[in-house]
Amino acid sequence: MGANTYRRRVEKCTTMMRAEEFDILLLTKPSNMYYLTGDGRLCAYAMITQEGEVAVGVPKTDIEDVRQHAYFNHIVGFGDEVGMIHSIAHYFDHFGIQHGTLGLEYTFLTQSMMGVVTHPHAKPEGVTARDCTPIMSSLRIVKEEAEIDCLRQSSLVADAGMKAAIEGIKAGITESQVAAEAEYAMRQAGAEEFWRTYVSSGPRTGIAHGLPTNRRLEAGDLVMIDIHPIVNGYSSDSCRTVCVGTATPEQRFAYDLYLKAQQAAIAKTRAGIGMVELEQTMHEIIKEGGHGEHIFGPPIHGTGIDFEESPLPPGHAFFHGEKEPPPLLANVVIAIGNCGIYTDGWGVRVEDTVVVGEEGPVVLTGYPYLLERR
């Protein structure tokens, strides 16, 4: 994306800053920096003034690399944390800000990082800090065409990863080896990175966050695979559940029920609908099928530079310091199907990445829904 894109985003950011009465932002969350400058890395920061000046601080080794692809007005390199603190003070001084309100990412900064960026040697005494998460979420929630293209590419890569993982499934291999197939294929297909791969099997499919272990697949196991490849900085989100061999009638029933619920929510997806309505659509079908007690967690969340980002579902939103989301706008991108049916001995989940269209859903991830491969 060109400098004009970042200039436009920063301008929109400054409009929001004025409305919310922020004099300056100090961002350290890579995804937020990536959105506004085209570069997001750890151990770095970006300051944004109400006038739209962008000042970045990066490890001194990284200056040339950042210069080549990032949008900014000022850059400084630092050698260590003390240098970082002093460089922040330098920018406050340069911008003439000794009073006013500083925006910080309360949903990203640890308590100890807060201590660093608000250190008396970094932040002027007269400047008070406040959470700017809602501004960054509002900025990023509606995707531009170029962003949707990245998410489309990421979805193709997710499909390739899912195909490799599912085709590799057989009794005797470990959950970790299933993850290996997905990840290898995603990198071969063009992912520069991926968020953590989830693979669970057998009784472990009944837990909410099944990271891979060295448990070996057995005949009759369900296997749940959830992947998030990153392509050009953007991440899709896709989950499938398959059986090693033949599923039981109960598993088949739950899978079909879950898929029906997920597809119903996808079908209702369009500009103007509320997150809660989509959530209720899924939940009600699952409840009618008798699995209401086995739902866990909110079924829908946004995806973009972070694989889990705004719009966040109401409960999670609170947890992440965000407000309840308004009705969905066109070109918001969401992952639908994250709640799952989790019984005592096994679970099923199916999830896809979907663009909220004016007239209806545009489904980006598309690996076939096959509980059994035969």
**SS3 label, residue 52:** coil
The least distance separating a copy of itself from the CB of residue 232, rounded to whole angstroms, comes to 9
CA–CA distance, 193 with 134 (Å, rounded to integer):
27
- CA torsion sign, 280 to 283 to 288 to 293? negative
Site for a copy of itself in 141-170 (CB under 8 A): none
Note whether 209 binds a copy of itself by CB under 8 A.
yes
* Only segment of 140-148, 203-211, 238-246, 359-367 that touches a copy of itself (CB under 8 A): 203-211
Q: Which is nearer to a copy of itself, 172 or 318 (CB)?
A: 318
* Residue (4 or 112) nearer to a copy of itself, CB: 112
The span from the CA of 45 to the CA of 40, in Å, is 9
* 127, β-bridge pairs: 100
* Count of beta carbons in the 10 Å neighbourhood of residue 148: 17
176 in contact with a copy of itself (CB under 8 A): yes
User: What is the three-state SS of 195-255?
Assistant: CCCEEEEHHHHHCCCCCCCCCECCCCCEEEEEECEEECCEECCEEEEEECCCCCHHHHHHH
- What are the angstrom distances between the C-alpha of 29 and each of 18, 32, 33, 108? 21, 6, 6, 6
Show contacts with a copy of itself in window 85-104 (CB under 8 A).
104
Shortest spacing between CB 367 and a copy of itself, in angstroms: 20
Taking CB under 8 A as the rule, does residue 253 contact a copy of itself? no
The nearer residue to a copy of itself, 163 or 187, going by C-beta atoms, is 187
Closest CA to 102 of 77, 74, 124, 73: 124
Stretch that binds a copy of itself, among 90-98, 135-143, 263-271, 318-326 (CB under 8 A): 318-326
Query: In the bound complex, what is the minimum distance in angstroms from residue 268's beta carbon to a copy of itself?
Result: 23
214 makes contact with a copy of itself (CB under 8 A):
yes
Part of the chain binding a copy of itself (CB under 8 A), chosen from 205-213, 253-261, 283-291, 354-362: 205-213
Rounded to 5 degrees, φ, ψ at 19 are -60, -35
Name which of residues 255 to 314 contact a copy of itself (CB under 8 A). 296-298
Backbone angles phi, psi at 202, to 5 degrees: 55, -135
Residue 291 amino acid letter: H
Binding a copy of itself (rule: CB under 8 A), the pick from 4, 19, 96, 111 is: 111
How many chain residues are in contact with a copy of itself, going by CB under 8 A? 64
Q: Which two tokens stand for residue 183?
A: 């990840």
Question: Which of residues 67, 73, 79, 292 is near a copy of itself by CB under 8 A?
Answer: 79
Q: Is 318 one of the binding residues for a copy of itself (CB under 8 A)?
A: yes
CB of 31 to a copy of itself, least distance (A): 14
User: What is the side-by-side strand order in the sheet with 333-336?
Assistant: 300-302, 333-336, 352-356, 361-363
Under a CB-based contact definition with an 8 Å cutoff, are residues 317 and 325 in contact? Answer: yes
Segment lying near a copy of itself (by CB under 8 A), choices 13-21, 171-179, 273-281, 355-363: 171-179
Q: Which residues are at the interface with a copy of itself (CB under 8 A)?
A: 41-43, 59-62, 64-65, 79-82, 104, 106-116, 131, 133, 174-177, 179-180, 183-184, 187-188, 190-193, 196, 203-204, 206-209, 211-214, 296-298, 315-316, 318-321, 342, 344, 347
